[in-house]
């Protein structure tokens, strides 16, 4: 679920069984507070920090791991989220908020119809072969654990044949959009790395064209001094490129390669503009 938000234009399909989209950012629905055992909480305390202590740096780390906040990044891939209604360890709220947050940020109706939440219920079947018989590999119920072949087929039947037949297209990144960067994001056109990749979240507004590329960053987490690094592919641009940060020219280079700028900080706007020759 995280990979689909960090690499939004790389995957044709993404599927998760009883996935995790919030480890503890939300004080009610985060896994730390809803589903995690004491042993799992102990692991999170050691690896991320205790989210009950109200420490800003720890809150920032959980925000960097909240893929449900970043789900709006991917209106492209066909996404299937499988979870049982009675799943106790990784509750279905992780799948529901992933979809709901994306839909709430839609620019137009239906933009996030690519996300389907399959809520498994004992005794419910999907007649994939239309023979009127409830078969073991059609049961829409996915127990938490390594799936049997029947359980796996009951999920993969929603997408696998079409994927293998080449009927699901390769994602194409929007030319202009807004991303929630949870730690880092990598597209085919650019990438952005915040801090150490695990301790910040940001909003990135971008527009990419062959004559001009523009990026604006807003740090959303507590530490506004976090520095980031942005890498931009300029292979679609021609000639010399002028680099401006907050309307000040800071560099000039020949197009065609990968341009790296750092530190890219809270409130900065970075522009790459093709210099027109006479």
- State the average pLDDT over residues 87-99: 97
Claim to verify: residue 116 and residue 241 sit in the same structural domain: no
Instruction: Specify the residue for token string 């004559």.
Output: 211
- Peptide bond before 263: cis, by omega within 30 degrees of 0? yes
Q: Is residue 57 predicted with pLDDT exceeding 80?
A: yes
The conformational region for residue 196 under phi > 0 = left, psi -120 to 50 = alpha, else beta, is: alpha
Q: Tell me if 59 is assigned to some domain.
A: no
Domain residue limits at 180: 176-274
Burial class (CB in 10 A: 0-12, 13-18, 19+), 188: middle
**Position 149 in a domain:** yes
Tens-digit pLDDT profile for residues 7-37: 999 999 999 999 999 999 999 999 999 999 9
Domain boundary among 95, 130, 164: 164
Question: Are both 89 and 154 inside the same structural domain?
Answer: yes
Radius of gyration for the alpha carbons in the chain, expressed in angstroms and rounded:
21
Q: Which of 164, 197, 231 is the last residue in one of the domains?
A: 164
Report the DSSP pairing between strands 78-84 and 13-17: parallel
Residue 276's pLDDT band, with cuts at 50, 70 and 90, is confident
Burial-class residue 179 by CB neighbours within 10 Å (0-12, 13-18, 19+).
buried
d(CA 33, CA 132): 42
Please tell me whether residues 208 and 157 are part of one structural domain: no
In a domain, 171, yes or no: no
**Are the C-beta atoms of residues 245 and 270 closer than 8 Å to each other?**
yes
42 in any annotated domain: no
CATH number of the domain to which 239 belongs: 2.60.40
Task: Kindly report the backbone phi and psi dihedral angles of residue 253, in degrees, each rounded to the nearest multiple of 5, phi listed first.
Answer: -155, 165
Query: Does residue 235 sit in the same domain as residue 257?
Result: yes
- 100: number of Cβ within 10 Å: 16
Kindly indicate the confidence band of residue 277, based on its pLDDT and cuts at 50, 70 and 90.
low
Residue 278 pLDDT level (bands cut at 50, 70, 90): very low
Residues 194, 71 share a domain: no
68, 114, 162, 212 from 20: Cα distances, Å = 9, 19, 26, 38
End residue of a domain, out of 111, 143, 164: 164
Using a pLDDT cut of 90, give the percent of the chain over it. 98
Residues 141 and 183 in one domain: no
121-168 pLDDT tens trace: 999 999 999 999 999 999 999 999 899 999 999 999 999 999 999 999
Per residue in 171-192, pLDDT (tens digit) is 999 999 999 999 999 999 999 9
Beta strands in the chain (DSSP E): 13-17, 78-84, 115-120, 176-182, 184-186, 190-194, 201-208, 212-219, 228-233, 240-245, 248-254, 258-264, 269-274
| Same-domain status, 140 and 249 | no
In a domain, 27, yes or no: no
Q: What is the per-residue pLDDT across 193-242, written as a single tens digit (0 to 9) for each?
A: 999 999 999 999 999 999 999 999 999 999 999 999 999 999 999 999 99
Token pair recorded at residue 85: 């209604």
Q: Does residue 94 sit in the same domain as residue 184?
A: no
Could you tell me if 145 and 191 lie in one domain?
no
Average confidence score pLDDT of the chain: 97
Please say if the pLDDT value at position 251 is more than 70: yes
The tally of domains found in the chain comes to: 2
Residue 9, Cα to own-chain centre: how many angstroms?
10
Residue 8 sits in the same domain as residue 119: yes
CA 87 and chain centroid, separation: 23
Q: Is residue 51 part of a domain?
A: no
User: In terms of domains, do 182 and 221 share one?
Assistant: yes
Which residue, chain included where needed, has tokens 């029947």? 150
Give the Cα separation of 80 and 82 in Å (integer): 6
Residue 129 C-beta-side C-alpha neighbours within 13 Å? 10
């Amino acid at each position: 679920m995280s990979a689909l938000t960090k690499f939004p234009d790389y995957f044709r399909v993404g599927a998760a069984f009883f996935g995790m989209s919030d480890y503890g950012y939300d004080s009610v629905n985060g896994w730390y507070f809803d589903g995690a055992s004491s042993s799992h909480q102990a692991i999170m305390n050691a690896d991320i920090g205790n989210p009950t202590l109200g420490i800003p740096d720890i809150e920032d780390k959980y925000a960097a791991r909240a893929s449900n906040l970043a789900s709006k990044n991917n209106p492209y891939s066909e996404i299937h989220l499988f979870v049982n209604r009675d799943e106790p360890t990784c509750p279905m709220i992780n799948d529901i908020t992933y979809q709901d947050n994306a839909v709430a940020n839609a620019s137009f109706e239906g933009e996030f119809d690519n996300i389907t939440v399959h809520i498994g219920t004992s005794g419910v079947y999907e007649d994939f072969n239309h023979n009127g018989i409830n078969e073991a590999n059609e049961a829409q119920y996915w127990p938490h654990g390594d799936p049997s072949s029947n359980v796996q087929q009951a999920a993969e039947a929603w997408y696998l044949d079409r994927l293998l037949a080449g009927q699901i297209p390769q994602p194409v990144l929007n030319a202009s959009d807004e991303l929630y960067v949870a730690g880092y994001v990598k597209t085919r056109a650019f990438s952005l790395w915040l801090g150490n990749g695990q301790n910040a979240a940001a909003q990135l507004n971008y527009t990419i064209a062959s004559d001009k590329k523009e990026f604006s960053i807003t740090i959303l987490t507590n530490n506004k001094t976090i520095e980031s690094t942005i890498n931009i592919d300029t292979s679609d641009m021609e000639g010399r490129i002028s680099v401006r940060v907050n309307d000040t020219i800071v560099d000039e280079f020949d197009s065609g390669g990968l341009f790296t700028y750092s530190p890219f900080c809270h409130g900065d706007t970075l522009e790459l503009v093709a210099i027109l020759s006479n």
